[in-house]
Amino acid sequence: MKTPAIRKLRQKLASDQPVYGLWVTLESASITEMAVALGLDWVVIDAEHGHLDWHEILEHVRSTVRSDTVVLIRLAELNAGLVKRALDIGADGVVIPWMETAEQMKEAISFAQYPPHGQRGIGAERATCWGRCFGPSVQEANEHVLVVPIIESVRGGKNIETICRVPGVELIFLGPADYSSTAGYPGQWEGPGVAEQLLAIKDSARRLGKNCGIVATSNENLAFRRQQGFRMLCVGIDGALLIRSLGDSLESLGRPATIAPTFVPENQSLAPAKVTPLPAPPPDMKPDRPEMMTTIGSGPKTEIDRGVIFEATVGAHNGARNLTTGIVTFAPHAQLKYHTHEFTESVTLLEGEATIDIEGRRYNLAKLDNVVIPKGLAHQVRNTGSEPAQFHVAMGSHEPNRALAERFFRRAMPDDSTGMPGAERVNRFATAKRFEAGAGATFIDFFDRDLINGIEMSGGYGIFKTGGRLPCHLHDFDESICIIQGVATCIVEGRRYQMSGNATALQPRGRCHYFVNESSAPMAMIWVYAGPVPERLVLDERNCTPQGNPWQREKG
């Protein structure tokens, strides 16, 4: 046990200074040596998840000897034998997962202290200098050992005050992912409402004089967590930090940086390589409305704020359901006041210079950057240039409205920020993941149910090479397609349309269609579905011809 390091950690926390650390899951002790060399305040060696054995854990502990870096071992469960073993090999404390009650907390502290205060047995190993320092070791251990609970469930959060009142509790760590699972959102870091619940837990602990820790998900999130009042701040998990760095490098080169859950590359996935087209659409998907093509200048216009004009291209005016899209033009230096919606909104900068503020977080936008704002988040948009700025917007309602909101204290976000987990999503066009959606057609998914929980729609960007096209297909919801670059040919059941200059197609549910680039220059679009999953039914090409139009008798 490194008593001076523990004292230093406590002194920083007592003066409300943050203490920074690293979560270690990989076996190389060099990782912990790097953390020590960089002067991190603490490391946690994870013996709950992953593959570390006790010899590897011991080597990590050795790497912190005679340093000011406190070393803690995260155990697999609350277990007297595990607590004893971790402390006997020289750890400065233990991290106990899934703590839910004060009774469990009392038991954990008892396991970590020698009698008469606790139940820890005395051994002749590293912690007691191999039996040569029984007296000093026992005294120092009982006085300085750290026992840190992780609150990973809704039940644990509800009992935070009684847990904090247990003598010997100094630090509390929060586990957002497991907490989200117990709140009904498995697989999400912070599901709906979870961020607010975790902040309430942190606030309760702070009121009782305890400090809270959490793992940051990015550099900007690390600064944000510090502002929120977290003081035991994890800069990241070793493996995740390595993956993040590798991914950033690959994306800077224009290469995808994703990992399939099966560890099989996407082009070797277990999914069928080719979708078998349906011979005809399902009869119950027969459309009840025609397709609509809207050119810029022909849609209804509204001045939604001074110098801010919204022209609707898809919406209630032309029969769309659960979807409104359009083009918003900002005069130089015009600003749209803070407001909220009862639905999700997508904003993509097409031309000009602009910023968007979301509850005080200011993002600078580059051309074709996209921002997705979940319902209820207050936001404002500003043209920061001396020329007009133009946006493509999409809203998950055919009857959009807004409510003005109070201003927020502004905080600039890094230019590469991708938003806040559980809140807004910022898609940086330059580094966004791309995939092939058809022959010569490359797409980017901006938003859908997998990317943003609770969203009502899905959408993204697509660029088509000369000759690039999609297969004949239809959707079980309405779709908006805005041509933002080049000239597109839209085929709907044999009917041909030429589109360009932000012209927008409304494809109602059930219409058989596809887009093709028949020009000699690239063509690009922004597409939005009135459904949370970007699904399509691929059809035999005949369904998109005049002769094979499956609905040709609908007028007869």
Express each pLDDT in 247-298 by its tens digit.
Answer: 888 877 777 666 655 555 554 443 444 678 999 999 999 999 999 999 999 9
Phi-psi region of 114 (alpha: psi -120 to 50; beta: other; left: phi over 0): beta
Residue-wise pLDDT for 3-47, tens only, equals 999 999 999 999 999 999 999 999 999 999 999 999 999 999 999
Across 503-516, average pLDDT: 96
Q: Regarding predicted confidence, which is higher, 113 or 121?
A: 113
Q: If pLDDT is split at 50, 70 and 90, which confidence band does 83 have?
A: very high
Cis check for the bond before 116: say yes or no (omega within 30 of 0).
yes
Expressed in angstroms, the distance from the first to the final Cα of the chain is: 87
Position 556 scores a pLDDT of 35
pLDDT at 522 over 50: yes
Position 121 scores a pLDDT of 81
In 227-378, beta strands by DSSP E: 232-237, 292-294, 301-305, 308-314, 324-330, 335-340, 345-351, 354-358, 361-365, 370-373
- What is the CATH number that goes with domain 3-249? 3.20.20.60
Which residue in this structure is represented by tokens 């803070």?
338
**Lowest-confidence pick of 78-82, 135-139, 250-254:** 135-139
Phi-psi region of 510 (alpha: psi -120 to 50; beta: other; left: phi over 0): left
Across 350-358, average pLDDT: 96
Across 519-536, average pLDDT: 94
Kindly report the pTM of this predicted structure. Answer: 0.55
Domain ranges of the chain: 3-249, 300-382+395-427
Across 492-515, average pLDDT: 96
- CATH entry, 300-382+395-427, from 2.60.120.10, 1.10.10.10, 2.40.10.10, 2.170.190.11: 2.60.120.10
For residue 411, give the nearest of 486, 360, 366, 469 by alpha carbon.
360
Q: Are strands 19-24 and 537-538 parallel, antiparallel or unpaired?
A: unpaired
Same fold, 3-249 and 300-382+395-427: no
Report d(CA 46, CA 24) in Å as an integer: 6
